[in-house]
Amino acid sequence: MHTGQIIQLLAGFYDVLTEDQKIVRTRARGNFRNKKTSPLVGDIVEFKESENDTGYITAIRPRVNELVRPPLANIDQAVVVTAATQPSFSSNLLDRQLVALEEKNISAILYFSKTDLLNEDQFKDLKAIASYYQKIGYQVIFPEQLQPDQDLVRLRETFKNQLTIFMGQTGAGKSTLLNRIDAKLNIETGEVSQALNRGKHTTRKVSLIPIDDGLVADTPGFSTYAVFEMTDSELKNYFKEFQKIGLNCRFRECLHLNEPGCAVKAAVEDGTIIGSRYTNYEQFIELIRSQKPEYKRKGYQKKDRRKKK
């Protein structure tokens, strides 16, 4: 019996990377269907090897986390590629992604793309927003025009021993960024549709690429998260700054909406918390309350394994 990690799913075959860096093409046994589960890219699996570097998967090790869109398991960190322009910067979309990652116990690295297309005032304004996210605990990479490729150096330093997923709005430049990191990848890229202000989907499969002693995934772009997988009372736990400031609220179960003595609302008023974060929080609360139970994703199991900050 052998152990490895699935790095690609293609036409029903799972390519498994073993500890000695050998790739074995496998199929999944039929009994997985009876268990109503199937292997995902990123899974640590046990497999039996047959001739010609082929085999079949016999077991899937327990997952630390998993995503439905894209289907990927055991993610350590996500590089959230956020366009400064073309398409326009959206704090709402950024916060949607960060909430989803916090809920899944996936560390987030914020990478602001296309900063070279901003004028001086736009650059200054967006950098101030980026600095806020850094202040509340996120790792932020905001490329400076006078430091070419320094952003890539910082980014590559985070890959070692990590499974890294690239995510962000369509057209933000995820594939372009990966091609800058490793030109041999030659990942297809697409131009942004000016009419719709969103990009054309170019990445069509999920695969893991060995880079700098880690594994990096290039994944399909998306514009929104359709569903929040938490209750309205849990949402506050996924806003980093709310957790700390909320300890000073008068009521322990404060939702930071209309309760008296709310430290979070006071922090918004005095500028400690940026206004867009709180506005997005209010909107997400309403979206969660309006969701119908049947829209919850099938097969989702909540894991209470939050990382120590």
Helix H or strand E encompassing 287? helix 275-290
256 in a known ligand binding site: yes
User: Distance between CA 132 and CA 272 in Å, rounded?
Assistant: 9
Dihedral of CA atoms 26, 29, 30, 34 in degrees, nearest 10, equals -130
201 in a known ligand binding site: no
In which residue are the tokens 């980093």 written? Answer: 240
Q: At a CB cut-off of 8 Å and minimum separation 6, what does 2 contact?
A: 18, 24, 46, 47, 48, 49, 55
Using the CB atoms, write b or e for 203-215: b if 16+ within 10 Å: beebbbbebbebb
134 in a known ligand binding site: no
User: Distance between CA 174 and CA 166 in Å, rounded?
Assistant: 6
82 in a known ligand binding site: no
Amino acid at 203: T
254 in a known ligand binding site: yes
115 in a known ligand binding site: yes
114 in a known ligand binding site: yes
172 in a known ligand binding site: yes
Across the chain, where does the E strand assignment appear?
2-10, 13-18, 23-28, 44-49, 54-60, 66-67, 72-73, 77-83, 107-113, 139-141, 163-167, 192-193, 198-199, 207-211, 214-218
12 in a known ligand binding site: no
Plot region of 40 (φ>0 → left; ψ -120 to 50 → alpha; else → beta): beta
174 in a known ligand binding site: yes
116 in a known ligand binding site: yes
How do beta strands 163-167 and 77-83 pair? parallel
151 in a known ligand binding site: no
199 in a known ligand binding site: no
169 in a known ligand binding site: yes
Q: For the chain, what's the residue count?
A: 309
Angle between helices 275-290 and 91-103 (to 10 degrees): 60
Q: Identify the three-state secondary structure at position 25.
A: strand
Q: Please give the annotated binding residues, written as ranges.
A: 113-116, 168-176, 249, 254, 256, 262
Q: Please give the annotated binding residues for Zn(2+), written as ranges.
A: 249, 254, 256, 262
Q: Please give the annotated binding residues for GTP, written as ranges.
A: 113-116, 168-176
